[in-house]
Structure formats: C-alpha cells, structure tokens
Chains A and B, each alone.
Chain A
Amino acid sequence: MEYSKGQLISLVLLRLAIGWHFFYEGMVKVLNPAWTAKAYLLDSGGFAKPFFDWIAFNPSLLAISDFVNAWALTLVGFFLLLGWWVRPAAIAGMLLLGMYYLSHPPFPGIEYLFPIDGNYFIIDKTMVELLALGVLLSFPTSHIIGLERLFKKSKPS
C-alpha cells in the first residue's frame, strides 16, 4: 500500500499515540504491586456485569486477570510503538478495549460510581480507540516506519 506523506504521518502518529497510551497504562500497573482492577470490575454495568463480578469475587481469577491485563497492555503498547508484530498487537489491543467497553458500556440507564469524563451515548472514547486500532490493522505502517522495515529488509523476499 502506498501513502502520501500526509497519510503516512497521520497513520504513524496514530499508531505511536495508541502504543504510547497502552504502554504507559500497562507499565504503571506492572510497576505497582498493589494495583488491582477489583473496584473497577465491581463497578461494571450492563449485560456482561455478572461475568466481571464473577472475576472480581474470585481471588485466583482476579489475580490472573490483573496479571494478564497489565502485561497485555504493556506488550501491545510496546509492539505498536516499535512497529513490530503490529497486526497481532492491534488485534490483542482491540480485544482488551472490547472488554473495557463491555464492562462499562455507555448505554442509557446504566449508572457508574466511577466518574466519567464526558457525556457518552453508545460510543465512548474506548470504542473510538478500538475503531482506531481497526484503522491501523487495515493501513499498516510499520514496514515503512518501524522495526518491521529492518526485519523485512534483512530477509530477502
């Protein structure tokens, strides 16, 4: 796929921004041993609430979920930033965001204790980021700007 300069810059900036967001969010959780998603899970709403409550109330499940969540965020961010294994990273990132979205869907009639920084109806920032990752899946850039460029060149096609 060939891009104009403007298209390329926009797409790479989008990839770096999402990667940055994921990586930072993940690392803060990884580096804070006291962090747990328990309260967030308990505050979940909507039709999938029983599932998230089930995790929150099950100590071993919660420990696994906390571990996977923190490291998945970190690794997704890491690969998006580097521009390496971007497709699997983007898919994993979309799955994570899908879970966050389902735990706190911005549907009318559901109230959350956790403060929400805006007004949303069906579409919220989580969903927008999820869709943006979809854009990155369809418009890859890491073979132009990213580690993939080097790997690709090192093995002749």
Chain B
Amino acid sequence: MDQEKDKNKPGGFNRRDILKGLAAIPAFGLIGYGLFKEIGELKASRINLLGNDDSIIPKGAPLVLQGETIRMGIVGCGGRSRYLLKALGFLHPDRIDEYSEWARTNKYWKEYMEGFFAQDNLNVRITAICDVFDKNARLGVEIGANLHRNGSGGDMDSAPKRFHTYQELCASEEVDAVVIGTPDHLHVPVVLEAARNGKHVYCEKPLSWTVEETYEVRRVVKDSGIIFQLGHQGRQTDSYQVARSLINRDVIGKISLIEVCTNRNDPNGAWVYDIDTEASPETIDWKQFIGPAPWHDFSLERFFRWRCWWDYSTGLSGDLFTHEYDALNQILDLGIPKSATASGGIYFYKDGRTVPDVLNMAFEYPDRDLTLLYSATLASEKKRGKVIMGHDAYMELDETLLIMADPKSTRYAEQIEKGIIEPHKPLFSYVPGQDRVDAITSPTEKYFAERGLLYTYRDGKTYDTSHLHLREWLNCIRKGDGSQPSCDIDQSFEEAMTAHMGTISYHEGRRVYWDAASEKIV
C-alpha cells in the first residue's frame, strides 16, 4: 500500500505526496463558485424600498412630564377600571400577593409582575371612587390606597373617599381628573357632569350611547376646555403608527377595500360574565345603574352582562367595531363615512339578549374611493386580521404588521418579474421592539415573519398601551397649553357617529347616510 512505500522516506515529497496532500484543493474552487452564485443572489434580493428613512419607527415612549400630583376620581370600578388602575400603577394588595405567588412558577405572571413594578410612576393619587355596587367600590378604595405597590400588610397611603353618586364625585374639591369605566349608557352623563365641573376626563370607549347626546358631549367638552381622552389605547400601538407612515409613503398603492373583523368564541367574549355572589338589591344601587336607560326591574343578569342589552350597551358596533374603526381612523384619517349598511342577528346566544352576536357592516367612503367592511361573530374564533388592500400590496395588521406584494402590482412589477419580490410573501414586517423596517429577504426571515415571530416585543422594554394612553392624557393636562391627546373629542365624535350609523342601519334594515353639511345621520 501507499503508506508502506512512503513510510521510510521522511522529508522530500514525491509527486504522489503532493497530489494526496493537496487532494481537497479543487473542492475550494467548486465551493467558491457556489458561494459566488449564492452571495450574488443575496445581493440582488436586498431591496431598499424605504431608503434609510428610519423616521418610520416610533422612538420609545414619551417621558412623564413633571408637575403637580394629579388627583383622580374613578367612576365605575369594575373589571375595566381596575385594569386602568393597574395601568396607572395601582393594584390591589391581595392581587399583588396572589400574582407574585403565581410568578414563582409561571413565566407569564413573572413577566406580568415585572412589567407592573417597572412601570413608570405617573405621579397620580386616587382620591375618589364611585360605584353603584358596594363590592366594586370597596375594592376600588383598597386599590386606590396602594400607592406604593405593596402586598397585603404593606405600607398603604390614605384611602380614597367613596362617593355614592358620580355627581358628588365630580363636584368634589379633591378631584382634578376623572376616569370613567361605566357601562356605555352612562358614559355621556358622567362626562358632562365632570366637564361642567372642570374635571379632565379619560372615558372608556365608545363615546356615546345615543346619537343626540353625542352632539351635546362634544359641545360641552369643547366649551369647558378640559383635556379629554377616549380610551382607545390602540392609539399607542406601535404597528399602527408604522402603518400610517408606510401608507403615507405609498408602499401599498391605492386602497380600495379595508376588511376588519371580530371573532370570539367563548362566553366571556360574548359578554356572558360571571354573576358575583355578593350582588343583591341591597348591595347595588339599581336606580342609579338604570340612569337614562328604560326602567327594568332589578336583574343580576342585566347588571353584570349589560353589554347584551341595547338598554345599556352599544352592541358589537359600539363595543368592538370601534376598536377597529379607531385604529383605521388613526392610520388613514377616514372620518365619518358617507353611508352605512348593516345586517346580522342573534344566531348563537339565544339567551334573551337584544344585541346581535353576528354583525356585518359596510361603510362607504366615495370621496376616498374605498369601502370599509366589518364582519363579526361571537361564535367562531377563526382568525381574520385587519387587512388594508391596496393595488400594489396588502397590509395585515395586528400587534405586528406585514405587507405582502400583489402579483399584479404596478409599482413592484419590475421587481416581481425579476424575481426579487415574491408576491404573497412578506415584503415588509414590523414587530414592536424591532428597530428597523425594511424589505425582508432571506427565506428564514420570511418564514418567521409570516408567523409573527421574527422579533418578539419582549425584546426591549414593553409598555402597556393603556398606560401609555393614560400617560399621554396626563401629559396634556400637565402641559396646560390646550394641547389635546390623540383620541380627543373630535376623533371620539367620528368614532361614535360611525358606530351609530351601523347600529341604526341594523335596526332599521336600510342604508343610512351621513349628511356632512348638517352633521346629521339621515
């Protein structure tokens, strides 16, 4: 064998040694050729559609403005308001105990509690609580006293005062600003009372329960000069801000159709909430709950599941469509549509409710040459995103944002023909926390982007959007120069009227129109 022959010849190579020693050299030539091809393709696919424009990415959260402590009153202290209290930095001491215990073994709760403790201090005090249900009021008082984010037995601040009516709370000298988390039918009465008392208002969506009160609340809020914010925290969602920038840069082309949806499939999502065992005619001020609604005898079902009845609710249109609408109004400045057509019915939850559980609405914007479609069911969880359809590409929006090129696009025709852009594959992606938006190139990146896992928003500091939305409102109050937050009373008016148009069309079974000159639904 060769080894045998060469064994005794140290030093001095023969031809065979050279050949065998350098046997692999030709392989490098072949590999080099492969690499040359591969890198060439990679370079060709690197498209820079946005230039180096990094102004598209929102730059972190605005600072908390310094100023005097703002004293807050909370009207309605159920689940949603308690969530807002957490966003303001207030959690019940028992919940802190409980969640901290869960956080020991559960990653979700660990991150939840870390996020809560890391949340910036907004320099507010809860001085007043009002709820018609004694238990909610008591919880509100206990939460409001927990200024230092302690567990039970920890140091508490002075407890907020419980008021039995919102009128008394709004008149209190101890309150600078009011957070409203009541059922829909009480939003406007409380906003009016607060505004007339000069209190700033953060009101949960939707703005109003009836068309008529919408005009009044806009007038009173404007005349009073208060700072008003409607609780569409989606205003703070990074991807919506990015979407607006990208659409302004004409990345998706002319938009003709927008489709938004609600899909839920559980009792909670269909507003069939638990009935609290402490609740009774003795612990609930029923008359005050009814307020402007038609009289009905005491009903625990109606009290806890009020969203199921038109008497207190605005149904799918006011409760869930408004989220979608406000996101699009933020991105596209849609305003109030020219017309609305709605249909649907109570098809699944035959539990005595009066609001539909399936609703489809079409809003026409002839001035913009586009239609906004809303489609909702409370009995299927099929995920259908928010899709903005343009001639050159379509945009799918969630917490993340994806843009897919259209095969018949004019703008991208050349790149599609050259194979640089693959239609129906993500052209852009944005996930909060990612520091750049640009065309996606590698197959791996595309694969993950399609599934929303390119970069997760756990990366970097995460903010609760409700916290940011409240912060924006508080900053405007502290500025005191009349600047209004992003979801001000004009934006709220557009939201309310659009939702009402859909609801009226559903009730009357006809197409309804917006007369912009007289600001009337006809």
Genuine A/B complex:
yes
Q: Assuming the A-B contacts A28-B39, A31-B35, are A2 and B1 also in contact, with contact meaning beta carbons closer than 8 angstroms in the complex?
A: yes
Which residues of chain B from 12 to 62 have a CB within 8 Å of any chain A CB? 12-13, 17-18, 20-24, 27-28, 31, 34-35, 38-39, 42, 46
Q: Are B27 and A115 in contact (CB-based, < 8 A)?
A: no
Contact stretch, chosen from A64-72, A94-102, A123-131, A149-157 = A149-157
Q: Are A16 and B35 in contact (CB-based, < 8 A)?
A: no
CA distance A156 to B7 in the complex (A): 11
Indicate which residue in A83, A114, A115, A156 contacts B10 across the interface (CB closer than 8 Å): A156
- With a cutoff of 8 Å between Cβ atoms, the chain A residues found around residue B268 in the complex are none
Residue-by-residue, is A131-157 near B (CB-CB < 8 Å gives 1, otherwise 0)? 000000000000011111110011111
| Interface membership of A81, Cβ < 8 A | yes
Q: Assuming the A-B contacts A24-B35, A43-B453, are A150 and B21 also in contact, with contact meaning beta carbons closer than 8 angstroms in the complex?
A: yes
Q: Assuming the A-B contacts A23-B31, A57-B459, A146-B23, are A40 and B13 also in contact, with contact meaning beta carbons closer than 8 angstroms in the complex?
A: no
Q: Are A147 and B442 in contact (CB-based, < 8 A)?
A: no
Q: Are A81 and B24 in contact (CB-based, < 8 A)?
A: yes
Q: Assuming the A-B contacts A39-B444, A39-B445, are A146 and B21 also in contact, with contact meaning beta carbons closer than 8 angstroms in the complex?
A: yes
Interface size of B by CB at 8 A reads 38
| Interface membership of B2, Cβ < 8 A | yes
Indicate which residue in B11, B23, B24 contacts A156 across the interface (CB closer than 8 Å): B11
CA distance A4 to B423 in the complex (A): 55
Q: Assuming the A-B contacts A28-B35, A81-B28, are A38 and B455 also in contact, with contact meaning beta carbons closer than 8 angstroms in the complex?
A: yes
CA distance A144 to B23 in the complex (A): 10
Q: Are A150 and B448 in contact (CB-based, < 8 A)?
A: no
Q: Are B13 and A150 in contact (CB-based, < 8 A)?
A: yes
- With a cutoff of 8 Å between Cβ atoms, the chain B residues found around residue A154 in the complex are 11, 13
Q: Are B20 and A144 in contact (CB-based, < 8 A)?
A: yes
Across the interface, name the chain A residue whose C-beta is closest to B38: A28
Q: Are B17 and A144 in contact (CB-based, < 8 A)?
A: no
Tell me, rounded to whole Å, the shortest Cβ–Cβ distance linking A25 to chain B.
Answer: 11
CA distance A148 to B13 in the complex (A): 12
CA distance A38 to B299 in the complex (A): 55
Across the interface, name the chain B residue whose C-beta is closest to A152: B10
Tell me, rounded to whole Å, the shortest Cβ–Cβ distance linking B19 to chain A.
Answer: 9
Q: Are B24 and A82 in contact (CB-based, < 8 A)?
A: yes
- With a cutoff of 8 Å between Cβ atoms, the chain B residues found around residue A39 in the complex are 444-445, 448, 453-455
Which residues of chain A from 1 to 56 have a CB within 8 Å of any chain B CB? 2, 12, 16, 19-20, 23-24, 27-28, 31-32, 34-35, 38-40, 42-43
- With a cutoff of 8 Å between Cβ atoms, the chain B residues found around residue A42 in the complex are 448, 453, 456
Indicate which residue in B12, B24, B451, B454 contacts A16 across the interface (CB closer than 8 Å): B24
Tell me, rounded to whole Å, the shortest Cβ–Cβ distance linking A144 to chain B.
Answer: 6
Q: Are B453 and A150 in contact (CB-based, < 8 A)?
A: no
Interface size of A by CB at 8 A reads 37
Indicate which residue in B6, B21, B442 contacts A35 across the interface (CB closer than 8 Å): B442
- With a cutoff of 8 Å between Cβ atoms, the chain B residues found around residue A83 in the complex are 21, 23-24
Q: Assuming the A-B contacts A20-B27, A113-B453, A150-B18, are A2 and B39 also in contact, with contact meaning beta carbons closer than 8 angstroms in the complex?
A: no
Tell me, rounded to whole Å, the shortest Cβ–Cβ distance linking A6 to chain B.
Answer: 12
| Interface membership of B273, Cβ < 8 A | no
CA distance A83 to B25 in the complex (A): 10
Tell me, rounded to whole Å, the shortest Cβ–Cβ distance linking A93 to chain B.
Answer: 16
Indicate which residue in A24, A32, A82, A147 contacts B31 across the interface (CB closer than 8 Å): A24
Across the interface, name the chain B residue whose C-beta is closest to A78: B28
Which residues of chain B from 67 to 114 have a CB within 8 Å of any chain A CB? none
Across the interface, name the chain B residue whose C-beta is closest to A57: B459
Q: Are A147 and B9 in contact (CB-based, < 8 A)?
A: no
| Interface membership of B215, Cβ < 8 A | no
| Interface membership of B277, Cβ < 8 A | no
- With a cutoff of 8 Å between Cβ atoms, the chain A residues found around residue B442 in the complex are 32, 34-35
Tell me, rounded to whole Å, the shortest Cβ–Cβ distance linking B402 to chain A.
Answer: 15
Tell me, rounded to whole Å, the shortest Cβ–Cβ distance linking B303 to chain A.
Answer: 43
CA distance A83 to B24 in the complex (A): 8
Across the interface, name the chain A residue whose C-beta is closest to B14: A153
**Which of B13, B24, B442 has the most C-beta atoms of chain A within 10 angstroms of its own C-beta?**
B24
Q: Are A144 and B2 in contact (CB-based, < 8 A)?
A: yes
Closest 5 CB pairs of A and B: A150-B21, A156-B10, A39-B448, A81-B24, A149-B21
Known: A31-B39, A153-B13, A154-B13. 16 other contacts (CB 8 A): A2-B1, A27-B31, A34-B441, A38-B455, A39-B453, A40-B444, A42-B448, A81-B24, A113-B451, A145-B20, A146-B24, A147-B21, A147-B22, A150-B17, A153-B6, A154-B11
Q: List 17 A-B contacts (CB under 8 A).
A: A20-B27, A20-B31, A28-B35, A28-B38, A31-B35, A32-B42, A34-B441, A34-B442, A81-B28, A114-B448, A144-B2, A146-B21, A146-B24, A149-B21, A153-B12, A154-B11, A156-B10
Q: Which residues in B have some Cβ–Cβ distance to A below 8 Å?
A: 1-3, 6, 9-13, 17-18, 20-24, 27-28, 31, 34-35, 38-39, 42, 46, 441-442, 444-445, 447-448, 451, 453-456, 458-459
Q: Which residues in A have some Cβ–Cβ distance to B below 8 Å?
A: 2, 12, 16, 19-20, 23-24, 27-28, 31-32, 34-35, 38-40, 42-43, 57, 81-83, 113-115, 144-150, 153-157
